[in-house]
Amino acid sequence: MHTPDHVLHDRRIFTAAAMRAVPVRDSGEPLVRVAPEPGLVFGPPLPYAWLRQGTLARLRQAVRALRAEDPIATLQLLYAYRSLAAQREGFAASRARAEAAHPDWSPEALDEEAHLFAALPEVAGHPTGGAVDVTILRAGVALDMGTFYGDWASPLIFTFAEGLTPEQAANRALLRRAMVAAGFAPFNGEWWHFSHGDREWALVWGAEAALYTQVGEPE
């Protein structure tokens, strides 16, 4: 397994093909309902959330790591589990945009382009219950991360994008340190996205296999 320092400085963005090649040995951990608690709040548009049991434990670790650096900071959860049906819908829309822009591309190339903006469903992290979208509040005010959450039209959503102010880069680094300290893998294509146990996590941390596969929506 790689070290936290290795993960902090890892700037790779993995292809869908690379993620497909990762084996999965599902741990059998259940999805558990997440509730706001000290240091962890929900952000719009999230009315409720589900995560794998181990991912929730690591999210709590991230809160502790964050508050060790900034005692008045709060981790804001923006998104957690997403159903496979919703992931398929998002990917289909992304692929349609890619095909309209590049009608001469191969199906494989279109899949990879679409995957940059909505992960290929069979390898996506959110449907495993292991991925989260998060940001930081300080005294209830969101830190300036350079873009707002979900602004896919902006090139600044990439974690290490050029054009960030020193303050914005420092805020992203604070979020990344807290999440990596808790064992999450950052996705460098979106500053807000981190995962534990999915295929991307396995690639980032150098694990032999992913811990989580896609799971059905809880009743």
For 75-117, write each residue's pLDDT tens digit.
999 999 999 999 999 999 999 999 999 999 999 999 999 998 8
Average pLDDT over every residue of 4-20: 96
Our measurement of the distance from residue 67's CA atom to the centroid of its chain's CA atoms, rounded to an integer in Å, reads 20
DSSP 49: E
Domain ranges of the chain: 4-205
Tell me the fold of 4-205.
Muramoyl-pentapeptide Carboxypeptidase; domain 2 (3.30.1380)
Residues counted in the chain: 219
pLDDT digits (tens, 9 = 90+) for 163-174: 999 999 999 999
| pLDDT number for residue 45 | 73
Helices (H), 21-165: 53-69, 84-101, 107-115
Q: Name the burial class of residue 186, with classes exposed (0-12), middle (13-18) and buried (19+) by CB atoms within 10 angstroms of its CB.
A: buried
- pLDDT band for 217, please (50, 70, 90 cuts): confident
The pLDDT, as a whole number, for residue 77 is: 98
> Tokens for 67?
């508050």
What pLDDT sits at residue 55?
Answer: 98
Instruction: Estimate to the nearest angstrom the gap between the alpha carbon of 74 and the chain centroid.
Output: 18
Q: Are strands 40-42 and 193-195 parallel, antiparallel or unpaired?
A: unpaired
H/E stretch holding 186: strand 185-186
Q: What is the 3-state composition of the chain as percent helix, strand, coil, each rounded to the nearest 5?
A: 40, 15, 45
